[in-house]
Every structure is written in C-alpha cells, then in structure tokens.
Amino acid sequence: MRYSQAFLFTAKETPSDAEVISHQLMLRGGYIKKTAAGIYSYLPLAWRVLRKIENIIREEMTREGAEELMMPAALPAELWMESGRWQKYGPELLRFQDRHGRDFCIGPTHEEAITDIVRHAVSSYRHLPKNLYQIQTKFRDEIRPRFGLMRGREFIMKDGYSFDVDDEASATTYEKMYRAYSSIFRRCGLSFKAVEADSGQIGGSFSHEFMVLANSGEDGIASCSKCSYAANLEKAFNGNTYQCTPRGSTTGERVSTPGLSSMEQLSEFFGLPAAALVKSVAFMDEEGTLCLGFVRGDREVNQVKLERLSGKALHAADGEALAKAGVVAGYMGPINLPADTRYWLDPSLRSLDEIICGAGEADFHLRGLSPAVLDEKRFADISTVIEGDCCPRCHSELNILRGIEVGHVFRLGTVYSQSMKATYLDRNGKEQPMVMGCYGIGVGRTAAAAIEQNHDDKGIIWPMSIAPYQVVICTVNPSRDEQSRATADSLYERLAATCDVLYDDRDERPGVKFIDSELIGIPLRLTISQKTLEQSSVEITIRKSGEKYLHPLETISEEVA
Ligand code: ATP
Ligand code: MG
Ligand code: MG
Ligand code: MG
C-alpha cells in the first residue's frame, strides 16, 4: 500500500479520554474510530491486524479438527428461554422486538444457538464428536465500556463449541482447544499464562482463562512461585477460610467463613440481601496489598480508579472515590498482615440498614462518619483474615500478577444439553445428553493486549505475525531525488509480492515519516537515500531494538523474509 493513497491519519496528541496505552496508541495511530460508547469502526490498519489474528485462530482451530460456521447475530428469545438465560442474563443482554412484537437479543455468546443447530442434526453416538466455531461480532451492553477494543460493547469474538459423548471425550476435546489456544497466543507473539478460573455467566464446571500479562490488566492472577498452579484471584481465594465475628454476636466468638467469592455466603454473613452483592473483585497494588471489594448488582467496578486508590491509607475522601469506582464494601490489607486490614464501605449502603463494618483493631474510615458514630451503629467485628495456605497445591507463596483475559475455555458439561434437550442415542440405544465445551477468544482484545505488552514511548511495536504491515519503505526526499524514488518504487513492487509492505511515498520530511512508522508500529523500516544508494544498499531499522544497519539492495527480499 502506498501511504499517499492509504486511509491513514495519525495524531500527535494523546486523546484525553483514553486511559490505557493500547487505546491511546490505537487512536493516535489511526487504527480505530469511536462511533458510540464501546462501539468502534476498525479502520484499515486495525482491520489488517484483526484479520491476521483471525487467520492464526483459523489455522490452529483447523489443526485441532474444529470447523468454522457462522450463526446469526440476532437471536430469538425462545431459545434463551429454553436455557433459562433470558431471565438470568441481566442488562448486558441487548434485547429488542421486531415489528411483530417478538422478543430478540443480539448474541453476547452463542451456546443456545449452537445447541439448537446440533440437536436437530445429531441423533446418534456415531455423529459425535462435533466441534464448531465462528468468528463474529458480539454485543454485550457492558455497564462501563472502556479501554477501546479491550472492553467494548460491540466486539469480535471467536466462539467455539464442542459436543461429545461423555466427560472423558469432552476432556480430550478441551485439551485440544487448550493446546490450540496456547499456539494461537504464542503465534500472536504474546507472553501469557493459562489460569484456573470461575465459569461466570456461561455456567459450567471447569475452566481456564488465557491471560496476557500486563500491568493494565483488569484481572488479578495468583501464580505459585514453586509449582505450576495459577488461578484467577477470585478463584484462588475462593475456598480460603476467613476468621470473623458474626454480626450481632455478643460473646465475640470468632467463626470461620468460607472464601469471599461465594456470594450467597457473603450476603448471609454480611447480612446483605443477596442481590446487593453480586460480585467480588480482588486486586493487588504494587506492594502486594490484597484488596477485595464487593460490587452491588447495579454497579461495576472501575478498576483503574481502584488501582489509584489501592494500598493507600483510606480517608473519608477515598470512600467517596471508591464509591464512584463502583465498590460498596470491602477490605484492604496485606495478605499476611491481618492487623493491618482496613475496612470500608459506601455509606449509601446504610439505607440497607443491616450493614456490617469492622471494629476493634481495624482502622475505619467511612465517608462522613467518625469512628464514634460507627460504634453507636453496633457494627460487628469482622476483623479477619486469610487463614491457611494460598497456594492450595504446594502451600508455597503465591505471586500476584495482573492480566488481560484474552481467551477462555470452559467445560460446560450438560448444562445446556439438558435444559435444551440436546440428546443422542448411545451404543445401547439409550438417550444421553451431549457433553459440551465452549471456547472464546476476544479478537480485538487480543490486538489491544499485544500493544499493552509491546510498546515504547514512540508507539506500538507489533509482533511480526500480527503487524498490519511487516515492512515500511521510506524515501528520504522523493520529489528531488529521482534515483531513490525509482529504486523505492521497484523495491516496493518486489517486496509486495512476498509480504505486507507500506510504502511511505509522501513528500514529507524523513523525520515525519519515521515518527509515523514508529507510532504505527511497523517492525522493519527500509530507508532509501542517496547515501545508502552510493553503497547499493538500504538502511534497515528494527523497530523493537532500534538497531540500524545497511543491507545490499540485491538481497533485501531474503533479509526481510
Ligand atoms: P470479562 O471478564 O473481561 O468481562 P468475560 O469473562 O465476560 O470477559 P467471556 O464470556 O469469557 O468474557 O468471553 C470470551 C472472550 O471474549 C473473553 O475471554 C474476552 O477475550 C472477550 N471479551 C469478553 N468481553 C469483551 C468485551 N466487552 N470487549 C472485548 N472483548 C471481550
Ligand atoms: Mg464480561
Ligand atoms: Mg472474565
Ligand atoms: Mg471469561
């Protein structure tokens, strides 16, 4: 592509509403254009990257025996009622009616749709296994879309679904998908970790998230320093025991309460209506301070705002900021130092009246309330903390890392096949539910995560495999230096046959061209000038290391390949 003809507009200024680097650089590099909150147009540069990621996905899925199809984005409510998710899914599901008043939604994920397809075709064990996937635009009405392509409302997902005769066969498919995912993210040039995870909205029994390690990640990961154990923080701390004094206790006796991820137990323990606490968040500050927050059903956490607050001594004003970040109650404190644990909560919860808060040795800060007022409120002591081991496998210390969830593999079991009656006849002619798995990858999020991991103060540094262009050719003075221009023209023709080349043929100063190619993140730059031509050479600059060297024009194709 010739730059002069490309739809490629870069910007110098960092957009003020972009909090993370990938979002900033995608906007500045002319990759994306916001159309509405969480809804983006992928401009030609981004589209090239996304298609490359998609193709890597296709190759690896094919290698493991999966087959591509395409399902509708608009899905009828009836299917979702069958699975029970029409009621359960909540406001993230974008619902609408057609002109006849029939209910529909735009698919946020496609378990119902695929199960409907498969149950109509598969009737015998001889037809199994089946493994199908699509790469499609999804819609989730995220409460707080943010970070550009990382958390959009409309986004491209690869979603795959497997159907097997039994648990054992399903586990084998799961392993294949796990392997495919590892290859996909490796080929995308990402440093990642597969971690044990909860199954969330989709349901199911067993799952792994593929996390790209990056400080801007919204997820916390607990990773064992000795063994291979790694889990999403929510999962890692689920099952731990906390020592607490129950609300209303007059004797002050302490009881054990299970891990903070169990919402039912939490709500019971805290005396909060279950609906008030639907999610816990766990995160770490740089010094390893564990912070857990409970989010009400109608709110979501703003992790960035929380990050800025975490680990600080909390003051009245922080309470307000935490409330704005969406967290209504929780505690902060280093994992191993219970005495330092601090509790806080959003006073708006007082309207629920029965709210707990800690007392005693803990250090309380409530917006607008002094500790004296707290005591009068008869808050019970829940000064706690984690008892027992963290690494659940080998009892060693856990490292806390931050990650971006780019992929998620689930063993669903028979959740959908039972509710939607997706059955087959086994060898003995007996009806059995198919055993399912599902497997998602955020395509746009993967691109964003790649930038989070690969950038410097000049811009993006794409891994070669997913770069929009692998090579950029820059002429230094095209309007006055005919020889360089002609050489660049023919080099462009030659290279374009074997790789993706951007030819910066603009009549601009070299400095401008260099700045743009660095911002856009093209891995190799070939500069042609009178000086390099005197030696029948081209100057190669490697974006990642900044290394520069002259290479003979003759063999440049081999060098670039
Ligand atoms: P998150 O925890 O970040 O909300 P999720 O667990 O809800 O993600 P899944 O249902 O597991 O997401 O969907 C599969 C994949 O789709 C995720 O691993 C992620 O890569 C991608 N994804 C999910 N939500 C979004 C979004 N709002 N924007 C971009 N990609 C997303
Ligand atoms: Mg989600
Ligand atoms: Mg998730
Ligand atoms: Mg997930």
Strands 39-42 and 255-257: unpaired
CA of residue 401 to ligand 2 center, whole Å: 20
pLDDT band at 400 (very low <50, low <70, confident <90, very high): low
Torsion of CA 280, 284, 289, 291, to 10 degrees: -20
Predicted confidence (pLDDT) per residue in 203-212, tens digit = 555 799 999 9
Q: Which amino acid residue places its CA nearest to atom 13 of ligand 1?
A: 440
Q: Taking 60 as the threshold, does the pLDDT of residue 270 lie above it? A: no
| Cis previous bond, 129, omega within 30 | yes
Among residues of the chain, what percentage have pLDDT more than 70? 70
CA distance 109 to 93: 10
Report which of residues 3 and 266 the model is more confident about: 3
The residue type of 337 is L
CA of residue 200 to ligand 3 center, whole Å: 7
Question: If you average pLDDT over every residue of the chain, what do you get?
Answer: 78
pLDDT of residue 125: 98
Mean pLDDT of 271-280: 39
CA distance 85 to 93: 10
Alpha helices in 44-166 (DSSP H): 44-63, 77-83, 85-88, 111-121
Q: Which residues line ligand 1 (CB under 6 A)?
A: 109, 140, 142, 151-152, 155, 157, 200, 202, 405-408, 440-442, 444-445
pLDDT band at 152 (very low <50, low <70, confident <90, very high): very high
What is the pTM assigned to this prediction? Answer: 0.79
Ligand 1 atom with least separation from CA of 200: 6
Ligand 1 atom with least separation from CA of 157: 16
pLDDT of residue 269: 44
Radius of gyration of the chain (CA): 27
Residues in a beta bridge with 519: none
Q: 216-228 b/e with 16+ CB inside 10 Å = b?
A: bbbbbbbbbeeee
Its ipTM equals 0.99
pLDDT of residue 231: 85
Q: What is the largest CA-CA distance in the chain?
A: 92
Q: Which amino acid residue places its CA nearest to atom 29 of ligand 1?
A: 151
Ligand nearest to the CA of 445: 1
Predicted confidence (pLDDT) per residue in 11-31, tens digit = 999 888 898 999 999 999 999
